[in-house]
Homo-oligomer: A and B are copies of this chain.
Amino acid sequence: HLPFVLFSGVNVLESRDLAMQVAEEHVKVTEALGIPYVFKGSFDKANRSSINSFRGPGMEEGLKILQEIKETFNVPVITDVHEAYQCAPVAEVADVIQLPAFLSRQTDLVVEMAKTGAVINIKKAQFLAPHEMKHILKKCEEAGNDQLMLCERGTMMGYNNLVVDMLGFGEMKKFDYPVMFDVTHSLQRPGGREDSADGRRAQVTELARAGMSLGLSSLFLETHPAPDSAKCDGPCALPLGKLAPFLKQMKQLDELVKTFDELDTRA
């Protein structure tokens, strides 16, 4: 029962300065609370609703920012890949590489990720049942990589809505890999705005508590100093100024539930 690890940062690497500001605040807060921390930032948002949406700095520039963050703050970093050719160069910088939810069944990408030897964070697709994740885990294993994590980020429940099925965490824990909770993406309302997804960031603490009460390996967040002017997924982002009190609750909760015995309630 290790304490939870925080994977957090920004949705997209809007700029080097924003990334540095966000990383600095995270390092300060997590050190004070004793929470192991991994910086998260995307170099490309490859599936925006609109062709005109901001996509990010691109791989080359993005990896430079991630490298600077690693060196400046001495923290590991995570980022996501979208095409097979990105896996090797990204894994040279990123400690953890992430398989996007919509792409989680693309065999070539999965295999190329596996080959890097990096830790892989597999996002559960919104259209998959928890038990179906075993297929993706098996693909990675058969490609020679068992440094795997599973990440819940909500399941489609009717049109334009996501729900987090709390029973899914237990199902995924049975695969014996760490299970993480991406709480901010789970707050999305897909298609909820004219040109993009809407979100329910006012409820981020509630949803995060529910997940953390189960005793998870990791929590995944996206934050922004000014969510209303974020270039992507602002409606879901935790305001950076609330990071400290938010994490303090999560830390206390995590510590408590990890003292609990597992109860066999079958009989």
Kindly state whether residue A252 has any CB partner on chain B within 8 Å.
yes
**Shortest Cβ gap from A192 to chain B (Å):** 10
Cα-based distance from A111 to B53 in the complex (angstroms): 14
**Docked-complex contact A239 and B265, CB < 8 angstroms:** yes
Kindly state whether residue A15 has any CB partner on chain B within 8 Å.
no
**Shortest Cβ gap from A95 to chain B (Å):** 25
**Docked-complex contact B47 and A205, CB < 8 angstroms:** no
A165 partner residues in chain B, CB cutoff 8 A: 157, 163-164
Within 8 A of B (CB), among A64-109: 82-84, 102-103, 105-108
**Docked-complex contact A261 and B239, CB < 8 angstroms:** no
Within 8 A of B (CB), among A121-177: 125-129, 131-132, 135, 138-139, 142-143, 155-161, 163-167, 169-170
Chain copies in the assembly? 4
Instruction: List 4 other contacts, CB 8 Å, given A51-B111, A164-B166, A209-B214.
Output: A50-B135, A52-B142, A135-B195, A157-B157
**Shortest Cβ gap from A44 to chain B (Å):** 9
| Most B-side CB within 10 Å, residue of A129, A210, A212 | A210
Kindly state whether residue A31 has any CB partner on chain B within 8 Å.
no
Kindly state whether residue A204 has any CB partner on chain B within 8 Å.
yes
| Most B-side CB within 10 Å, residue of A139, A163, A204 | A163
Q: Which of B50, B163, B190, B202 contacts A127 (CB 8 A)?
A: B190
Kindly state whether residue A231 has any CB partner on chain B within 8 Å.
no
A239 partner residues in chain B, CB cutoff 8 A: 265-267
A160 partner residues in chain B, CB cutoff 8 A: 129, 132
Within 8 A of B (CB), among A189-215: 190-191, 195, 200-207, 209-214
Kindly state whether residue A1 has any CB partner on chain B within 8 Å.
no
**Docked-complex contact A105 and B47, CB < 8 angstroms:** yes
Given contacts A46-B107, A49-B135, contact A267 B206 (CB under 8 A): no
**Docked-complex contact B107 and A55, CB < 8 angstroms:** yes
**Docked-complex contact A204 and B105, CB < 8 angstroms:** no
